[in-house]
Structure 1
Amino acid sequence: MTDTVRAGSKRHRGPSMADVARHAGVSTQTVSRVSNGLSNVEPATRDRVLASMRELGYRPNRAARALRSGQYRTIGVIMFTLSSFGNMRTLESISIAAARAGYSITLIPVEEPTQEHVTKAFARLAEQAVDGIVIVIEAHFVSQADVELPEGLPVVVIDSSERDDYPVVDTDQAMGAQLATQHLLDLGHDTVWHVAGPSDSYSATRREASWRATLERAGRAVPPVVRGDWTTASGYRAGIDLLQREGVTAVFAGNDQMALGILRAFHEAGRRVPDEVSVIGFDDMAESDSFWPPLTTIHQRFDVVGQTGIEVLVAEIEGQQALPETFMVETRLVVRESTGPAPSVRLA
């Protein structure tokens, strides 16, 4: 007979609170107080109980603790599209910030940014028993009055500035687009072409509006927008489109992935960057300094966005009233080798 456990045999139960109490030489009430993070335990006693928990492999009963405290120590995250760089970095920062605050997360991906799919996501979260919700869906419908967010649960919205009934944490998209466009104008380019993200994206429309306003303030012509979908492939198609147009010397791509596709299209056509055309992105991906040429871009603080969102949400979960205000996180310009003086300035 091998050491394999027989079908139907009884599994060994894990250590109980009473086991920990006996091992540490304390009462079960003391173990309970340590398990629940209460402060009325002497430090030396707490350390002894924690050491016993580790040695015995004791794990507190989370469900029972939730019943006693009224909290599940879990935050629900509703997010559309896990494929974009920005969303993945935001989710990473939310997860880290939640863990530091003593919360786990339950992720509910939304297949399509529609009211029906978001309503289903809320229903699924209601079954998961969460203390609060972070919503990371930048499609325009989130601002509509007929989209009802959960009643009775703290909510923080990320990447949307059009809700005035919940706290919102957002990157200053307008500042970033202005910095990108003005950088190219300061290099002597007559105007700046824009490859924008999807028209139903808050981030894309805010960047586009700021690009347009910056050109108008400078008294420059506003070229027609070339539309992409955040992917490298759409940037490549946009680059081929731009190659057919006259007078393109500067391009502001709505994100770094599309900028990468644009660089490839220009390279294949023999269009030198930045000697003949300058390209700037938005995001400052970890790989953007390894593009060829290294990409000038707008740096976003995804870590600050996630941290701020969790701080605001946890404060409300734990009894502080969160005001329905917007927390704006600054962006900054990172200059690398993909942008340079306009050809006319180089030849002057």
Structure 2
Amino acid sequence: MKQREGARPPGMADVARVAGVSAQTVSRALAGHPNVQDATRAKVLAAVEQLGYRKNTAAGTLSSGRSRTIGVVTLQTGFFARTALTVGVERAARDAGYAVSTATTASLDPASVEDALLRLADQQVEGVVLAVPLIRVSRRIEQLTAAVPTVAVDGSRTPATDIVAVDQSGAARLAVNHLLDLGHATVWHVAGPGEWLDAASRSRGWRAALDAAGASVPPELAGDWSPDSGYRAGLILGRIPEVTAVFVASDEMAFGVIRALRELGRRVPEDISVVGVDDIALAAYCSPPLTTVAQPFDRMGALAVAHLLRHVAEPAAPPAPVSVEPALVVRSSTAPVRGS
């Protein structure tokens, strides 16, 4: 069947229609899943040949049964944590003999996430690491993550998705308890964007730690992960005399907070102690070096790949969620409250 000039190229739905199967079955057949019957796989291959649907790639994958490729869905951003996690996945995949194909999404809107998942499905990836939080899960996302083994690393999931995630609430409790142990009466918080599950979990952990200690809970300041948003929050915090300790939801925002405090004449840590989250490479070279809660990005990548390859090998295996404990790294941006 020749494609008419100007017509759209054939898609997975067209292959499904011609083969007389569901789109999910086409996806599984193209991914080389062992639970697809030979007769069904043959019908899909025939439809691929007839339509010219990614003819060479699809046929090559079907003949070998493997693409040896893992997909990663991530947000279009320059923030270090996103990049570090992707690097961790790539390193672990390479060590396991797999290539990595990355599909970025411009937003967290379900339609944008669906598009990224479809692009990876078209490449016949054997599994997907979902490195974006699913604020809302559409039926299409549920279908796509059911068709291709998927591991989420931001704490969000669909019924078929496995989870490998850092205990973000625990990260906040580590930071807050460290500051309370230094004698600070309470801890202020610069939060990440509310639509991010990581940010929401850190805010809950901050509040829970203060409640457990019987400390007052100050108003929360909102950021967007950027140093600029931290700087704006720091200009507010630096003008509040009773502020002596701040937990910031990312290192990059913490850099902005510290700069604003310095410009206002508030010393860190003599006047105000600051703790971040992530332990990015620059944290140790901040002035002063930043106390932070480290996220084990390499270990997260290795665990995500290991779980994904288990599901590739055993598609019927039930999800086995894993929560990774963060670690506090104490540097010079925190100190006992003055007079304690």
The interval holding the TM-score normalised by the smaller chain is 0.7 to 0.9
Secondary structure of 2:136's aligned partner: helix
Do structure 1's residue 99 and structure 2's residue 94 form an aligned pair?
yes
- Unpaired runs of 5+ residues, structure 2, are 1-55
| Counterpart pick for 1:148 among 124, 134, 142 | 142
What is the CA–CA distance in structure 1 between the aligned matches of 2:256 and 2:92, rounded to whole Å? Answer: 33
| Counterpart pick for 2:190 among 195, 198, 222 | 195
Aligned to 2:50: none
What is the CA–CA distance in structure 2 between the aligned matches of 1:256 and 1:209, rounded to whole Å? Answer: 18
Q: How does 1:218-297 map to 2 (within 5 A)?
A: 218-297=213-292
1:161: how far off? 4.3
What is the CA–CA distance in structure 1 between the aligned matches of 2:218 and 2:67, rounded to whole Å? Answer: 52
What is the CA–CA distance in structure 1 between the aligned matches of 2:114 and 2:140, rounded to whole Å? Answer: 11
1:160: how far off? 1.6
Secondary structure of 2:328's aligned partner: strand
Label 1:148 to 1:333 Cα distance change in 2 as closer, same or farther (>3 A): same
What is the CA–CA distance in structure 2 between the aligned matches of 1:161 and 1:139, rounded to whole Å? Answer: 6
Range with bigger deviation, 174-183 or 62-71: 62-71
Label 1:146 to 1:107 Cα distance change in 2 as closer, same or farther (>3 A): closer
Letter matched to residue 108 of structure 1: A
Aligned to 1:343: 338
1:85: how far off? 1.2
Do structure 1's residue 178 and structure 2's residue 173 form an aligned pair?
yes
What is the number of equivalent residue pairs in this alignment?
A: 284
What is the CA–CA distance in structure 2 between the aligned matches of 1:102 and 1:82, rounded to whole Å? Answer: 27
Deviations 1:131-186 (A, max 9, x none): 111111125224x6774241421111111245453210101111111010000000
What is the CA–CA distance in structure 2 between the aligned matches of 1:81 and 1:158, rounded to whole Å? Answer: 16
Label 1:297 to 1:240 Cα distance change in 2 as closer, same or farther (>3 A): same
1:110: how far off? 0.4
Deviations 1:236-288 (A, max 9, x none): 00000112323100000001001100110011111111111100110011111
Note if contact 2:134-2:157 (Cα within 8 Å) is conserved in structure 1: no
What is the CA–CA distance in structure 2 between the aligned matches of 1:109 and 1:77, rounded to whole Å? Answer: 8
| Counterpart pick for 2:77 among 82, 87, 112 | 82
1:106: how far off? 1.1
Deviations 1:96-123 (A, max 9, x none): 1111111111111001110111121222
- Aligned Cα root-mean-square deviation (Å): 1.9
Aligned to 2:300: 305
Secondary structure of 2:203's aligned partner: helix
What is the CA–CA distance in structure 2 between the aligned matches of 1:77 and 1:188, rounded to whole Å? Answer: 43
1:214: how far off? 0.4
What is the CA–CA distance in structure 2 between the aligned matches of 1:222 and 1:130, rounded to whole Å? Answer: 47
What is the CA–CA distance in structure 2 between the aligned matches of 1:165 and 1:120, rounded to whole Å? Answer: 19
What is the CA–CA distance in structure 1 between the aligned matches of 2:237 and 2:158, rounded to whole Å? Answer: 36
Aligned to 2:314: 319
Label 1:320 to 1:145 Cα distance change in 2 as closer, same or farther (>3 A): closer
1:66: how far off? 3.0
What is the CA–CA distance in structure 2 between the aligned matches of 1:227 and 1:334, rounded to whole Å? Answer: 24
Label 1:308 to 1:154 Cα distance change in 2 as closer, same or farther (>3 A): same
Note if contact 1:251-1:277 (Cα within 8 Å) is conserved in structure 2: yes
Aligned to 1:333: 328
| Counterpart pick for 1:130 among 125, 129, 136 | 125
What is the CA–CA distance in structure 2 between the aligned matches of 1:204 and 1:328, rounded to whole Å? Answer: 16
| Counterpart pick for 1:205 among 200, 210, 223 | 200
Secondary structure of 2:72's aligned partner: strand
Secondary structure of 1:298's aligned partner: strand
TM-score (norm 1): 0.78
Secondary structure of 2:278's aligned partner: coil
Secondary structure of 2:274's aligned partner: strand
What is the CA–CA distance in structure 2 between the aligned matches of 1:255 and 1:212, rounded to whole Å? Answer: 17
